[in-house]
Each structure stands twice: as structure tokens, then as C-alpha cells.
Amino acid sequence: MKYEAVIGLEIHSELKTQTKIFCGCATSFGADQNTHVCPVCLGLPGVLPVVNRKVVEFAIKAGLATNCTINQYSKFDRKNYYYPDLPKNFQTSQFDLPIAEHGSVEIEVDGVKKTVRLTRIHMEEDAGKLVHSGATIKDSDSSNVDYNRTGVPLIEIVSEPDMRSAAEARAYMEKIKSILEYIDVSNCRMEEGNLRADINVSLRPVGSEKLGTRTEMKNINSFKALEDAINYEIERQAEVLDDGGKIIQETRTWDADRGITLSMRSKEEAHDYRYMPEPDLPPIVTTSEEIEAYRKSLPELPDAKKHRLIDKLGLSEYDAGILTSTRAMADYFDKVVELGADPKSTANWMMGDLAKNLNAEGLTIEKSPIDPTRLAKMISLVEKGTISGKIAKTLFVEMWKDSSDPEKIVEAKGLVQITDSSAIEKIVLEVIEKNPKPVEEYRAGKKKAIGSLVGQVMKLTKGKANPQLVNKLLEEKLQ
């Protein structure tokens, strides 16, 4: 391709505060329409907003976790526009003095690391939601407006146009999601709209420094839609340019069913919004001491955790990357290891049988029928030699269906490893007698031939013989 794609993301994340940003209404999702409302979030005349301290705290933490500078003097502004889901006819947001600026996060795609710069993070209120009578606005006779979401706190995280492919944009959004989960400021449930992105895409000739004209796709709320929309838009723009056309700066919508983007409206400029300082809210002043206290309160972040798993626990870069990709996964891993299990075995089980079973049933790790405690117990049964690694696979399947203690299942199902040599010896002799060919080969110096004999013994004992013991006995008897 003779063009280079340039991508910048504006990520909106709902913060998990109990109450809204400027009033005491609940933020919880899924309530009956217009039950979480009050004069303040409905924007009735004469009301005064009060900033929720938790929102400022969460926004500062998000800024610190993404290497931003925190602006000790920050303020709110009014962004004026008209839409039925916005009862005040302006959104209280931040314009020239956002809470955080100039950050960066690291991403990695196909083993290549890259830094994506953050322009800014600002706080704002979410708008309400239109509920159409039909499937889409076009085939609806009427629409209701639900103001429950009006005033739910948001942070908007704006990136520099530093990404060059759909895969990089996805890796960036995944990194932001995992950071927000780690610092526990957002539920990040994309299907509930907790986390959504506006994607800006432009093309430029390879080698050119100048940015091309961009289009913007709003409210993308899944990783698949993000990648598909970017890839589609890159192709569409390339075709337009190849035909000698010009890209129009506009807002387009992503139609997931048809897999295409459609023109929605021409792009608005900042001056269209008539930004003005919010007169009803005092500026937000944060001391350096407060900022340092927030910094100290941050937990270990994904990248730091990943490096700890590599450097201290000896995991591969790949394994460590996957195990730290979400907070839930990392917490699960930490718990199992804390309970005494070997980190490498834990990683193998989590990325192998556990991941496979979770995927097959469409479960997240929080809903795993095998919790960290039981997995740790199972791993310790292997380490103690009570069961073999092979039996552990069988035990895992049983544990998935049966919530009792692994020890109990081992007993009930008779899965205990046979470590009694006289019992194994009988089978070893039988196998030697029935398999003259590998025995012959082994005695002729082909030491590898013992493998198939070990396999036979394991088969006859249904995998319950201790493999080391089987090896030792076979070697003795073959002398």
C-alpha cells in the first residue's frame, strides 16, 4: 500500500462512582427509565451542581497511571449543543484546562513495542439515552428519552494520532481498559457502554509527515467493531484517493451489520460549541501533596506486573503478557501463586485447560467453576506426587463439574497415583514380556525405545502409575 494510516482515539470511560458527577443520583445501570434523576441532572432552572470528589480522584488516578502531568489548577467549561438527551443544552466538560495532560502508554503488536502519547484526560458528564419505539431511529414513530445516564461521570482520554494500524489501535484500547480496571476506576463493561471510543482515521502517502484529512467514527463499543471499522475506513479512503478524490472531514457511523461506514454529518469544529467557563462550579485546585498521595495509592499497574512475572517468577514474555492483560486474570494468577502453587504450572493450567474451558462456555474468569483455591490445591496434589500430571487433566474435568475439594474427588474417583512398586512391578514384567520388539531395541542400545514401554505401563494403569517409578523399574528389569 502506498498510504500510511494514521489513527487517533478518543476513549470515553464511565467512572464507577456510586453517585453522579454533580448530584447525588445513583449511577447504577439497568434501572427503570427516569428513576435516577433529580432537578440537578435534569437541568431544571436555578439548580446548582456540586462536584463529586470521587470523580476528581478517579480522573487524577487515571492520569497518573497513564504518565500524565496533573494540572493542579483545572476547571470546567460548558460545551453548547442541542440534542434531546442533553437537558441543559450544554454538556459540562473541560476545555482548555483539563485535569491531566501529556501522558503515554506502551503497546505491543507482534512483538514490536511502541509508545502512544496521550494528549489529555478530561472530566465530563454523560448525556441521556434515546429509546426508540422501533429497532432504529428510522423505523420509529416516537422515541423516549431516559435521563438515568445524564450526569454519570466520564473521563475522556484523547490520544495523539500515533497509531498506524487497526491492530495498534486495538492494543492501545486494550491497554487503556486494563489500566482503568487495575486502578479500579471503571467497570469497563464495553457491552454496557462503560467504555467506548471515537476513532479518527486518515491516510497520507508513505514517507509524508503532513497529516491527511480525517474522518471520525463515534461510539464504538467492542474491539471487533474497532478493528473492522478502522480497516474498512482505511480501504474506503484509499479508494477515494486512488480515484483522485478528496477525503471530506466528517463524522461517519459504523454499521456493524453491513460492515461499512456511512456518512452522518460534516465535522463540527471547537468554535461551533461556543465553549465558555462554567460559572456554577469553582476551579479544581489540587496540591502536590494530594497528587503524591494518589500516586502512592495506585496498585501495581499492568506493565509493572508483567515485568515482575518475567523477572521474579521466570515466566515467558508471552505468558506474562496474557496473564496480566486483564485485572481479573492477574488477580486469579496472583491468588493461586500466593497459595503456594508453582508459577509456571499455574500459568500453564490457566492458559491451557482453564482458558479452553472458559472459552468453550463463554465464561469470564471471575465466573470460573474452578476458583484459585481449588486450582492451587490441584497443582499441589501434582507437586506432592499424589496424582500424576496426566491424572490432573482428568481431575480438572471432574472439578469443572463438581465443586467439592480436589482431594475428595481424587479419593472418590480412585485417582490416587500408584507408588507401590510391587504393584507396578507386576505390570512392568507383563509389558516386557508382551513387547519383544522395543525390548530388543533397548537392549541393542536404542535407549529411546523405553518410551513406548513406559507408555504401555501407563496405559495399563490408566495413567495412575508414578512415571518416575515406572522408568526406574523398567530400567532395572531390562538390565
Return the closest-CA partner of residue 86 out of 41, 123, 128. Answer: 128
Decide if 309 contacts 343 (C-beta within 8 A): yes
Q: Which is nearer to ligand ADP, 163 or 337 (CB)?
A: 163
Q: Which is nearer to ligand ADP, 177 or 306 (CB)?
A: 177
Decide if 5 contacts 201 (C-beta within 8 A): yes
Please tell me whether residue 248 binds ligand ADP under the rule CB under 6 A. Answer: no
Among Mg ion, Zn ion, ligand ADP, none, partner that 171 touches (CB below 5 to 8 angstroms by kind): none
Q: Work out how close the CB of 167 gets to ligand ADP at its nearest, in angstroms, rounded to a whole number.
A: 16
Q: Which is nearer to Zn ion, 147 or 349 (CB)?
A: 147
Among Zn ion, ligand ADP, Mg ion, none, partner that 41 touches (CB below 5 to 8 angstroms by kind): Zn ion
Q: What is the spatial distance between Cα 98 and Cα 439, in angstroms, rounded to a whole number?
A: 77
Give residues 223-242 in contact with ligand ADP (rule: CB under 6 A): none
Return the closest-CA partner of residue 76 out of 54, 61, 98, 47. Answer: 98
Please tell me whether residue 363 binds ligand ADP under the rule CB under 6 A. Answer: no
376 to each of 96, 343, 345, 355, 398, how far by Cα in Å?
51, 10, 10, 16, 15
Please tell me whether residue 158 binds ligand ADP under the rule CB under 6 A. Answer: yes
Q: Is 118 left (phi over 0), alpha (psi -120 to 50) or beta?
A: beta
Decide if 306 contacts 321 (C-beta within 8 A): yes
Return the closest-CA partner of residue 120 out of 73, 68, 178. Answer: 68
Q: Work out how close the CB of 198 gets to ligand ADP at its nearest, in angstroms, rounded to a whole number.
A: 7
Q: Work out how close the CB of 276 gets to ligand ADP at its nearest, in angstroms, rounded to a whole number.
A: 17
Express the helix, strand and coil content of the chain in percent, nearest 5 each.
Answer: 40, 20, 35
Decide if 284 contacts 74 (C-beta within 8 A): yes
Decide if 421 contacts 477 (C-beta within 8 A): no
Residue selected from 122, 170, 214, 374 as contacting ligand ADP according to rule CB under 6 A: 214
Q: Work out how close the CB of 35 gets to Zn ion at its nearest, in angstroms, rounded to a whole number.
A: 11
Among Zn ion, ligand ADP, Mg ion, none, partner that 214 touches (CB below 5 to 8 angstroms by kind): ligand ADP
Among Mg ion, Zn ion, ligand ADP, none, partner that 326 touches (CB below 5 to 8 angstroms by kind): none
Q: Which is nearer to ligand ADP, 161 or 343 (CB)?
A: 161
Give residues 17-46 in contact with Zn ion (rule: CB under 5 A): 23, 25, 38, 40-41
Strands 195-205 and 153-159: unpaired
Q: Work out how close the CB of 184 gets to Zn ion at its nearest, in angstroms, rounded to a whole number.
A: 24
Decide if 163 contacts 202 (C-beta within 8 A): no
Q: Work out how close the CB of 337 gets to Mg ion at its nearest, in angstroms, rounded to a whole number.
A: 42
Q: How many residues bind ligand ADP (CB under 6 A)?
A: 16
Query: Does residue 19 sit in helix, strand or coil?
Result: strand
Q: Which is nearer to Zn ion, 16 or 88 (CB)?
A: 88
Please tell me whether residue 202 binds ligand ADP under the rule CB under 6 A. Answer: yes
The residues that touch ligand ADP, with contacts defined as CB under 6 A, are 6-10, 158-161, 200-202, 211-212, 214, 216
Residues that bind Zn ion (CB under 5 A): 23, 25, 38, 40-41
